[in-house]
């Protein structure tokens, strides 16, 4: 799988990086990544994945673009209001990099279709904003042996981590919190979505190219108000309903 002259110029800054180089860029080109949720986190993450040259990017989201999305979902413009997010996203990503393939999947991810959706991809990014969907994505990734990059934001804080097998995301969050809040309820500063979404893309690139130390089995927690971050280790829960018996 070679590169065209245009691709060599496009990815020049990756090709000269010792940790990526030609071999890493080939791995990016061969990779298939599924982005679940084309919203605040999926928008910046998919932009950087496409720019990086990830060969195939699947986008799963059944929503349409609304005016209130534009404060943080930088993938869209006012002209996209009312359109299916994944269709508008595909156009924007292909305009950024026509060398990648975008698979637009305008579906709600559920426990019934999650495994089928993730099975055709090497790695899954979950940027959804409700725990029920996050649990479905996590269970499907464990069942199909897929690496999961997960992110979440709210108000002024965000987090990102990587899970592959055991421990899994549900070891971190065993049950849906009774006081679970969404951005539509508590609000979120728009630029925070860019920070966490970009970090999700960065960790994905590191994982695919085997560069550095990805956040595997770790959670990075970022507080934008204090401009501080900390990383915590996530251990396996022997009683986990998803991976405990793996």
User: Confidence band (pLDDT; 50, 70, 90) for 177?
Assistant: confident
C-alpha 144, offset from chain centre: 17
| 136 Cβ neighbours under 8 A, 6+ residues apart | 109, 110, 111, 114
Q: Express as a percent the part of the chain with pLDDT over 70.
A: 97
CA distance linking residue 153 with residue 159, whole number of Å: 7
| CB-facing half-sphere around the CA of 192: CA atoms within 13 A | 24
Position 109 scores a pLDDT of 96
CA distance linking residue 235 with residue 169, whole number of Å: 10
| CB-facing half-sphere around the CA of 65: CA atoms within 13 A | 22
CA distance linking residue 227 with residue 188, whole number of Å: 16
Domain 31-233 is in which class?
Answer: alpha beta
Position 180 scores a pLDDT of 67
pLDDT at residue 7 above 70? Answer: yes
Position 94 scores a pLDDT of 98
CA distance linking residue 49 with residue 204, whole number of Å: 8
* Structure-block tokens of residue 202: 């960065």
Burial class (CB in 10 A: 0-12, 13-18, 19+), 71: middle
Spell out where the chain has E strands.
32-36, 56-60, 101-105, 123-126, 147-154, 157-163, 218-223, 228-233
CA distance linking residue 177 with residue 162, whole number of Å: 21
Position 179 scores a pLDDT of 72
Position 244 scores a pLDDT of 86
pLDDT at residue 5 above 90? Answer: yes
Position 8 scores a pLDDT of 97
Position 143 scores a pLDDT of 97
User: Confidence band (pLDDT; 50, 70, 90) for 182?
Assistant: low
pLDDT at residue 178 above 80? Answer: no
Tell me the domain boundaries of the chain. 31-233
CA distance linking residue 167 with residue 144, whole number of Å: 15
CA distance linking residue 129 with residue 141, whole number of Å: 18
User: Confidence band (pLDDT; 50, 70, 90) for 185?
Assistant: confident
User: Confidence band (pLDDT; 50, 70, 90) for 186?
Assistant: confident
Position 187 scores a pLDDT of 83
């Amino acid at each position: 799988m070679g590169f065209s002259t245009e691709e060599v110029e496009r990815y020049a800054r990756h090709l000269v990086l010792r940790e990526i180089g030609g071999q890493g860029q080939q791995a990016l080109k061969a990779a298939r990544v599924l982005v679940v949720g084309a919203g605040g986190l999926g928008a910046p993450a998919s932009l950087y994945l496409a720019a990086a040259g990830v060969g195939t990017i699947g986008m799963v989201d059944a929503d349409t673009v609304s005016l209130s999305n534009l404060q943080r979902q930088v993938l869209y413009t006012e002209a996209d209001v009312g359109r299916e997010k994944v269709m508008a996203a595909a156009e924007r990503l292909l305009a950024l990099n026509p060398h990648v393939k975008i698979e637009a999947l305008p579906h709600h991810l559920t426990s019934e279709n999650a495994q089928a959706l993730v099975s055709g991809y090497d790695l899954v990014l979950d940027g959804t904003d409700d725990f029920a969907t996050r649990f479905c994505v996590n269970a499907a990734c464990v069942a199909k042996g897929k690496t999961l990059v997960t992110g979440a934001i709210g108000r002024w804080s965000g987090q990102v981590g990587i899970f592959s097998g055991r421990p899994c995301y549900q070891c971190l969050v065993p049950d849906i919190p009774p006081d679970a809040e969404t951005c539509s309820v508590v609000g979120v500063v728009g630029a925070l979505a860019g920070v966490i979404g970009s970090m999700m893309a960065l960790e994905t690139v590191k994982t695919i190219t085997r560069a550095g130390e990805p956040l595997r089995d770790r959670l990075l927690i970022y507080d934008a108000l204090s401009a501080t971050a900390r990383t915590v280790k996530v251990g396996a829960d022997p009683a986990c309903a998803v991976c405990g018996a793996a």
